[in-house]
Structure formats: structure tokens, C-alpha cells
Amino acid sequence: MSQIHDDKVWELNLQAVKIREDVIKMLLAAGSGHPAGSLGMADVFTAMYFHILHHDPKRPDWEDRDRLLLSNGHICPVRYAAMAHVGYFPKEELLTLRKLGSRLQGHPERMCLPGLESTSGPLGAGLSQGAGLAFSARMDGKKWRTYVVTSDGEHGAGLHWEAVLFAGKYRLHNLTNIIDRNNIQIDGTTEEVMPLEPLKEKYEAFNWHVIDIDGNDIRQIIEAVNEAEVITEKPTCIIAHNTPGQGVSFMENDHLWHGRAPNKEEADQALAELEKIATRLKSDRS
């Protein structure tokens, strides 16, 4: 179990800002991509890579590592940025996002980049892959855990709910599903396109332990994962309510930024706003 102290929370919050800054730079260089979800999930990926996961960037194929799968692969810029900052590959490579021949494709490609557990693209498949990994780990008596990041929008896919049923039936307590609950998708809000609520009660009905958190609060993220680790009779779903576009005022809660990259002027404004957040964090610390 990973305990968290105030000093560490401060460090992680500052790290999340740096990751958001790199997301903006990556998308500007690529000229395409998905900023809203990437910015919204920066706190989750910071907490995972810098505090929660048992992993080793120098040994990405370490047998006893925890597995982290990204089902909603379109927000891969935030995962790439977190991986680079923690040491999986040089940060300079981030600016090759979506370029021909780059290891950093628009959706994660497992055979391209060490440290990725799956290739994602079609929404709805990630939890099935994660449930399979968790089931195999239990069969082999392994202690590593499987974490899957899923989008709220992909809950409209039947395949996803088959995985929910499977994990509930087999009581995969070593599986944690973290939902990117930002309430938007490419065509509007999730509740307009395909209503999901009551989401918590649906998972509970399928024999899951469910935790609602603020997905932009690193302390809550870590405490929720700690809670999941001590649940021994069922899988855990963490519903991470977050703000799409978090940290950039003109992107926040606007579904039009689901899949549109910023231009130079917009990127400069976004980076200026993020720098103010970093300055405020440093000032609060001093």
C-alpha cells in the first residue's frame, strides 16, 4: 500500500503541470490529437507512474511489474508524457507524436514502445484485455496487479460490459478499472449521446467494489488505489470525475476540444496558464 505525505502530494501536483505542458507542446507539434482527455487525466497518470505502480523504466518487461492498460487510446499523449518524465524514453522524443515512423503513434502500439502492455484503438476492448491479464495472474499465483484506464464514452460498447460481467463473476480482486469520467465525447456530453447514470450502481450490481473520487485530486487517487488493494473478494472500479482540459481555461468542459489540437496562439495561451499554476504551486511551497 502506497501512503502519501504532503511533500509528495506537492511534488506530484507540480509534476502533473509539467506533463500537461508537454501534452500541449506535443499536440502543437503534431497538429492533431486529443487535448481535453489528456489534460484531464494528467493527475491520474502522474499518480500511477510516480507513486502507485510497481515498475522499472529500465526494465520495461520486468515479469513482476504491475500492468497498466489504456483502453481509451486517443488520450495517449498524457501517457507518453508521463512515461518520458519517469524515464522510459527521452523527453525530446515527445515531439515526434503522430509523425511517420515515430514510436509515439496516435494510439498506443505495444510493439513500437517498450512499457506498453496493449495496442489500443477500438474503444471498449481494454477492460477485456485487462480482465484476461488479471485472471492469468491469479492462475499463476502472481502478485502483480492490473490497472485499466477506460473512458466513460466507451461504456456504450457491449464488449466492455461483457468484461464487467466476467471480472465480477470471477471476483478479480487484482483488477482495478479507473474510469475517465469527464462527461464528454466527440459529439457532446455522455448523458446526451448515451446516458450512463446511475454508473456506480450499475457496477455494484455486477459485483464490483466502486469508489467515487475527484480525478484531479492526487491524494484521492492514491487513497482510492490503496483501498482497492485491500479489497479481496471483488474487482474495484474507481470513477475518477475530472475536468476535461484541466488547467487550460478555454478548453475546460468543452467537448469541441475532445479531438482538436491547439494552434500556436492557443498553445501559447495554454502554456502561459499552466505556467501560472506552476508558479502558484512553487509560491505556496516557499
- Read off the pLDDT of residues 66-76 as tens digits, 9 standing for 90 and up: 999 999 999 99
Predicted confidence at residue 1, as pLDDT, reads 54
Looking at the 3D structure of the chain, how many domains does it have?
1
Residue 131 domain-assigned?
Answer: yes
pTM over 0.85: yes
Instruction: Dihedral sign for Cα 172, 132, 84, 181, please.
Output: negative
| Range of the structural domain that residue 23 is part of | 6-285
Residue 65 domain-assigned?
Answer: yes
> 3-state SS of the chain: helix, strand, coil percent to 5?
50, 10, 40
Q: Is the pLDDT of residue 3 over 90?
A: no
CATH number, domain of 134, equals 3.40.50.970
Longest dimension (CA), the chain: 53
Residue 1 domain-assigned?
Answer: no
Outline where 87-206 has alpha helix (H).
126-139, 158-169, 190-193, 199-205
Q: How far apart are the C-alpha atoms of 201 and 181, rounded to whole Å?
A: 15
- Read off the pLDDT of residues 138-183 as tens digits, 9 standing for 90 and up: 999 999 999 999 999 999 999 999 999 999 999 999 999 999 999 9
Residue 49 domain-assigned?
Answer: yes
Residue 45 domain-assigned?
Answer: yes
